[in-house]
A and B are shown apart, each in its own frame.
Chain A
Amino acid sequence: MTAPLLSVQDLRIAFRSQGCRLAAVDGVSFDLAAGETLGIVGESGSGKSLTALAIIGLLPKGGVELSGNIRYDGHKLHQMPEAELQRLRGNSIAMIFQEPATALNPVFTIGDQIAEVFMQHRYASRREALDRAVDMLRLVGIPAPERRLSDYPHQMSGGMRQRVMISIALACEPKLLIADEPTTALDVTIQAQVLDLLRELKDRLGLSVILITHSLGVVAEFVDRVAVMYAGRIVEEAPTADLFEKPLHPYTQGLLASIPPIDDEVPRLHSIVGTVPPLHQLPAGCRFHPRCPVAIEECRHIDPPLRRVSPRRQAACHLVRAEGGNS
């Protein structure tokens, strides 16, 4: 087996706040193969976005404790000096965010903002860079791209702005794209357009993608493999089809059952009792046990590690035995 493109080992991110230490990401490990798409799913506060920011080196500098190994394509990202990291960012790893309106600079035209990437990373002249910007806008399906170069972000719709963000991210033909809730702020018909575009570009350019989202529908459509996060940990990891067909962790089961089906009627929605615990009140033992319908005494005291239960699946639950199934 070839080495993965990206390998994250025992990633930990903690914040210091008013004298206490808040462990927001607590021992997260996963691999991503070249050309693979991995979905990281979780509710707010699960640590999914922080994990992404850590990979790309964009965590805030002050008050953050970061540990663990992040290897990417032969580089040790966690030991890389900022200048080198910056060269990698945009060139080889790119990221798109949820809200394109805040990620774009309101006082520059979109032409300038795309051209900047080529001038920074490819040392292109402004003229060349603007030509390339037109190509990029065409690639992401913006009609009449020559005329949109001089537009400012506020003159575009949300869907168009997200297309511009994607064109900036893909400008230098990165190998890895990290997309953090790329369609959450968009209307459903526009979301479908943007997902189709991302899928097409991924295939055409051979991208590896990490898609971070709270939407299980988006995950089912887009990724090969899913990691489910809860309160700073990965609780389950599996190929997408397996996860949806037979979720192993009680949290994943609850999450899937909570979605109202759009093609069918159900008498009553399943819901998970309680709420995600705040970081300063994480329970002992398994972090999910206070909300878990099948918790046993062991769960209150012993934190279950993420264990391999079949060749391609892992779960962190005392009740999940190897070879699948809740015993």
Chain B
Amino acid sequence: MTAPLVEVRDLRKVFAARSRLSWLERRRAEIRAVDGVSFDIGIGETLGLVGESGCGKSTTGRLLLRLIEPSAGSVRIGGESVLDLDGTALRQFRRGAQIIFQDPFGSLDPRMTIGDSIAEPMTIHGVHNRAGRRARVGELLTMVGLPPAYYDRFPHEFSGGQRQRIGIARALASNPRFVVCDEVVSALDVSVQAQIVNLLIDLQRQLGIAYLFIAHDLSVVRHISARVAVMYLGKLVEIAPTRTLYRSPGHPYTQALLAAVPRPTPGVVRRKPPIVGDVPSPLDPPSGCRFRTRCPIATSFCAEQEPPLREIAERQFVACHYAS
């Protein structure tokens, strides 16, 4: 087996927070947004990363690219230790690793033509001269299914789906090997969402890019990912090949997530979701297994001992004492 492109080991991010117990008493508190996460992504592979809001999935994506600085752990991309880079080396690294965000309107400068926006990474990295950049932007626009003549238009002239195509074109401008896709289709209508998912899959086949595909929509994630990781309150609770995870989810949380998705098939009655209540506050997570307060099969042991990820089937790793 070849070495993975992305290797993440024991990644952690602690945010300082102020928690006020009363008017008089303040205490320093911390939120462990990402708490010891490890995984690999192969060359040209897509790893889906799912979980509910606040579980740390977006923070994980940003940590990998050092858009925020990790508190501890290691990230190697293409054999290079990302956390040790600085200056020119860090800039060089960022050419090869890009991110696409949920809201492409928020990430495009409204006063810049979309062509200039797409060319900006090349300008920064000193790739091509002006004419060369224009030609390359034309190529990129074609690649994402837009006419090259759109170069001189402004973001407000485009629909949400078209803007997301522009976001993708800009991410591709520096020929990345790895792209973090952070909820890239969540804001789009169903019919347009399918177009963007198909485009991302086509580009991956053509260019051999690896994706970390962060999303809360489990159906889209199943369709695009080779493997899927599930996060809950800053921890990975399960990571497995897509088919295994969807057919025989090992962790009670994964099972609950999948059961809760409304099926577009009338008459198929959803199994009553076996979990109740809300996600606990990350300021004060439960002891032991963090899911135990909502888990239908938790025992007193779960409060004492945190379950490590262990392999329960081929390449299926689950952090639950009782998974088998």
Residues of chain B within 8 A (CB-CB) of A240 are: 266
Contact B264 A193 (CB under 8 A): no
The reply to whether the CB of A5 lies closer than 8 angstroms to some CB of chain B is no
- Contact bitstring B251-273, A, C-beta under 8 A = 1, else 0: 00000111111111111101011
8 A Cβ contacts from B160-175 to A: 160-162
The reply to whether the CB of B220 lies closer than 8 angstroms to some CB of chain A is yes
Contact B243 A217 (CB under 8 A): no
Contact A266 B194 (CB under 8 A): no
The reply to whether the CB of B197 lies closer than 8 angstroms to some CB of chain A is yes
- Closest beta carbon of chain A to B33's beta carbon, Å: 17
- Closest beta carbon of chain B to A219's beta carbon, Å: 8
Question: Could you say which of B21-29, B70-78, B85-93, B185-193 contacts chain A?
Answer: B185-193
Contact B261 A259 (CB under 8 A): no
Question: Known interface pairs A187-B216, A189-B52, A241-B267. Does A258 touch B262 (Cβ–Cβ under 8 Å)?
Answer: no
- Closest beta carbon of chain A to B272's beta carbon, Å: 7
The reply to whether the CB of A215 lies closer than 8 angstroms to some CB of chain B is yes
A258 (CB) vs chain B CBs: closest residue: B194
Of the listed residues A157, A218, A259, A262, the one surrounded by the most CB atoms of chain B closer than 10 A to its CB is A262
- Contact bitstring B107-125, A, C-beta under 8 A = 1, else 0: 0000000000000000000
Contact B264 A187 (CB under 8 A): no
8 A Cβ contacts from A226-264 to B: 240-241, 244, 254-256, 258-263
Contact B278 A254 (CB under 8 A): no
Contact B256 A244 (CB under 8 A): no
Pairs A-B, 6 closest by C-beta atoms: A217-B262, A271-B194, A187-B52, A43-B189, A192-B260, A260-B223
The reply to whether the CB of A139 lies closer than 8 angstroms to some CB of chain B is no
Contact A43 B190 (CB under 8 A): yes
Contact B216 A258 (CB under 8 A): no
Interface residues of A (CB under 8 A from B): 43-44, 157-160, 187-193, 195-196, 214-221, 240-241, 244, 254-256, 258-263, 265-266, 268-273, 275-276, 278
Task: Give complex CA distance A260, B218 in Å.
Answer: 9
Question: Known interface pairs A44-B189, A258-B190, A268-B198. Does A188 touch B261 (Cβ–Cβ under 8 Å)?
Answer: yes
Interface residues of B (CB under 8 A from A): 52-53, 159-162, 189-195, 197-198, 201, 216, 218-220, 222-223, 243, 246, 256-268, 270, 272-273, 275-276, 278-279
Q: List 18 A-B contacts (CB under 8 A).
A: A187-B52, A187-B279, A188-B257, A189-B256, A189-B257, A189-B260, A192-B262, A217-B261, A217-B262, A255-B190, A255-B191, A259-B219, A262-B261, A266-B223, A268-B198, A272-B191, A276-B159, A278-B159
Question: Known interface pairs A192-B270, A260-B220. Does A216 touch B194 (Cβ–Cβ under 8 Å)?
Answer: no
Contact A256 B276 (CB under 8 A): no
B276 (CB) vs chain A CBs: closest residue: A193
Contact A188 B216 (CB under 8 A): yes
Question: Known interface pairs A187-B53, A258-B193, A260-B223. Does A221 touch B262 (Cβ–Cβ under 8 Å)?
Answer: yes
Task: Give complex CA distance A188, B216 in Å.
Answer: 8
B242 (CB) vs chain A CBs: closest residue: A265
Task: Give complex CA distance A220, B243 in Å.
Answer: 25
Of the listed residues B195, B223, B257, B267, the one surrounded by the most CB atoms of chain A closer than 10 A to its CB is B223
A276 (CB) vs chain B CBs: closest residue: B189
- Closest beta carbon of chain B to A202's beta carbon, Å: 16
Contact B266 A220 (CB under 8 A): yes
A160 (CB) vs chain B CBs: closest residue: B278
Contact A260 B219 (CB under 8 A): yes
Contact A244 B243 (CB under 8 A): no
- Closest beta carbon of chain A to B153's beta carbon, Å: 15
A44 (CB) vs chain B CBs: closest residue: B189
Residues of chain B within 8 A (CB-CB) of A218 are: 262
Q: Which of A215, A260, A266 contacts B262 (CB 8 A)?
A: A215
B189 (CB) vs chain A CBs: closest residue: A43
Contact A254 B191 (CB under 8 A): yes
Contact B220 A192 (CB under 8 A): no
Contact B190 A190 (CB under 8 A): no
